[in-house]
Amino acid sequence: MLLTRRRPAQGWPAERLPYPDARRRLRAWRRTRPFWGGLLLILGGTELLLVPLSPLTVLVSLGLGGLAAIGIGLALIAAGLFLWFLPHTRHYVSVNALLLSVLSFAATNLGGFVVGMGLGIAGSAMGFGWTPVRAEEREAEVSPLRDGQGPRTLAAALPVVLLAALGQGPALKAPDPGPVVAARTPPTVTTTLFAPHGFLVAGVREVPTAGGPVKAMVLKMRSASLTDYRLRTRDGGDELALGADTLDLSGDVTLYLTKFSGCLEGIVCLTFTPDGLPVPPVVPPFVFMTDVSAEQALVTSDVIVTDGLTLEAS
């Protein structure tokens, strides 16, 4: 008698599990955002909340550490929701979530006994390193093994940066540049150190230029210091190059940028554009950026002080 082994049908678990349509929609939604990084942040924030939400006697014994755990836990949960529902903010939100996770070790009950801090750091790294799947990859036919893995999530090894405190400011409305018309092509600005004071991301708006309106990021701050400042026009004809050893802006300072890139705290390098600009509610108070390169459509300031000013024409 010949014995044969019956092969299980392909996709057997998927066929037997309930709600196939709902799971398919969830899988498609999950692939378009750093889902697992956001989930780890939510779990880390929830773990930080567990001890402070214990009975009142436990909370009183914890003191300010318990209150800090509530604030940081809620902030990490909010960061995870940002990664889920606003994935284009992943870089800025992940950096802030990393700072909060590390800060929780000193400000709360050892970062939720290290568990909440570890989940927050891992979720921040996964959110920062996540890259969206290209359109052609989504349209291409994938194997059953590949189908279900979700988006490609990269575990980025982010350095641990510890800040003493985090500042919070009110949301600002982007000021209107008025009748000023910017150049057709934004000049290129480079600086080795950009240190804003009272920095807030005000939003995105259209700026009138000689070639029509362009979309620009609006950066609002009380003052800013720039080292090794260089500006070069790119509008054709006689190009001008403006340089200064130091450039200090103070008063009502507003920058209108079509592109902005640099290394946050000299460590994490980011690039921002008007189409992917995050507006998080928490901004580190002592933030600075190195190796900055930007396309500057317009800048307004009450006072500008320079040292070692040079002007060249080509």
Q: What is the pLDDT of residue 179?
A: 59
Beta strand segments in 79-184, E? 167-168
Q: What is the pLDDT of residue 175?
A: 53
Given phi > 0 = left and psi -120 to 50 = alpha, else beta, which region is 251? Answer: left
Q: What is the pLDDT of residue 107?
A: 79
Tens of each residue's pLDDT in the chain, 314 residues = 444 445 444 455 556 677 888 888 888 898 899 999 999 999 999 988 886 665 544 554 455 556 778 888 899 999 999 999 988 888 888 888 988 898 888 877 777 778 889 999 999 999 988 888 665 455 554 443 344 443 333 333 333 333 333 333 344 444 554 556 777 888 899 999 998 887 766 678 888 888 888 888 888 888 889 999 999 887 666 778 889 999 999 888 888 998 888 887 777 788 888 876 655 444 555 678 899 999 988 888 889 898 888 888 76
The C-alpha angle 28, 33, 35, rounded to 5 degrees, equals: 90
Q: What is the pTM of this model?
A: 0.50
Q: What is the pLDDT of residue 154?
A: 35
